Amino acid sequence: MRPILHPSLVNGRSGDPALYIETLFERRAILFDLGDVTALSPRKIQRLEHVFVSHAHMDHFIGFDRLLRLLVGREKKINLYGPGGFIDHVHHKLLAYHWNLVDRYVCDLIFVVTEIESSLATRTVRFRLKSAFAEEVINSGRIVDGVVHSEPTFRVSAAILEHRTPCLGFAMEEAAHVNIWKNRLAQMGLPVGPWLRELKRAVTENMPDHYPIRISARPMTSDMGEVQLGALRAVLTVTPGQKIAYVTDAADTPANRKAIIALIQDADLLFIEAAFAEADAAIAAERAHLTTAAAGRIAREASVRRVEPFHFSPRYTGEDERMLNEVMAAFAGRSSEGAGL
Ligand SMILES: [Zn+2]
Ligand SMILES: [Zn+2]
């Protein structure tokens, strides 16, 4: 099965955090964190629809200006998500510029910003170019099971972590793939048609076996009656979707470990900060960041399939291999004692 989500660290393991995830559906893209994004082409930035920001420390949010610069003048809506206080951070960025000429723009640029408070309460506002980015309140609510965005093809969950300020960790889960075997359809004497879309939806939404599926070769015509979902399972196979998790800027505390592991459990791919080497655990604790060893152990405990460490501190420039080895040793359950010597 061809994976549908294609993630890449915009600035490698040492630059500003930004994880660009290209999707194969409708050429849309998602971004986790908005550090410096000059390495992203304008076309890639224009594909963004959802941008999830862990917290508004400069290295995670300075890329907002480039986003704004490239999108003004285009008809575009971007959904932004961040921790408590994030709406104000976005608004202040927008207010840094003078918008007296906005009535001359034909296209509107809309930011829909949702902030997630520590109690999982959410607040959503809108900023529109055509109203000079004045704040318009949309709604407030509460997130359920940590899910901050959900649509038929994927969903994104968040966990609130402690970094001496609330910081969000994210997990993106793709819906299961449903493959229909046309030869098996033919064997059962069933036609190909738009009803297969309804069949796929019923499967991904875990409908029970007695759920009725109406069969028709074409919309509105040649109705061939109903068949129960259970009887159709033989014509399809279900492959679970990919899970990609993103965790950065978290203190190594028992509460954070618990929240991170619950969020990233069984992820196919985990991007996790490993800001400091194991030998510098005291500095990591001081700055509320994870070490290489902590990142590797957390990934191991959560039974993650592959780990990609990033956000290496500049003090380790030229030592990527050492940092990577420390993470991988902990991930493999080996003692990395002396690895840095
Ligand atoms: Zn930070
Ligand atoms: Zn950071």
Q: Which residue has the tokens 């994880």?
A: 19
Q: What is the pLDDT of residues 172-226, one digit of tens each?
A: 999 888 889 999 999 988 988 889 988 988 888 889 999 999 988 776 555 678 8
The pLDDT value recorded for residue 119 is 78
Q: Greater confidence, 24 or 7? A: 7
Q: What is the pLDDT of residues 88-108, one digit of tens each?
A: 999 999 999 999 888 888 899
Pick the ligand that lies closest to the CA of residue 162.
Answer: 1
Q: Is residue 339 pLDDT above 90, yes or no?
A: no
For 3, counting Cβ atoms within 10 Å of its Cβ (0-12 exposed, 13-18 middle, 19+ buried), the class is middle
Torsion sign (Cα): 182, 187, 192, 198: negative
Pick the ligand that lies closest to the CA of residue 287.
Answer: 1
Ion ligand 2 residue ranges (Cβ < 5 Å) = 59, 249
Question: Distance between CA 37 and CA 49 in Å, rounded?
Answer: 15
Of the listed ranges 25-34, 91-100, 162-171, 307-316, the one predicted with least confidence: 25-34
Q: Separation of 137 CA from ligand 2 center, angstroms? A: 29
Helix pair angle (292-301, 254-264), 10° resolution:
50
Q: Greater confidence, 230 or 26? A: 230
Q: What percent of the chain has pLDDT over 70?
A: 95
Pick the ligand that lies closest to the CA of residue 57.
Answer: 1
Spatial contact of 309 and 327, defined as CB atoms under 8 Å apart: yes
Q: Separation of 117 CA from ligand 1 center, angstroms? A: 17
Q: Separation of 311 CA from ligand 2 center, angstroms? A: 7
Q: Is residue 337 pLDDT above 80, yes or no?
A: no
Q: What is the pLDDT of residues 275-307, one digit of tens each?
A: 999 999 999 999 999 999 999 999 999 999 999
pTM: 0.88
Q: Separation of 307 CA from ligand 2 center, angstroms? A: 18
Q: What are the DSSP calls for 76-95, one per residue?
A: EEEEEEEETTHHHHHHHHHH
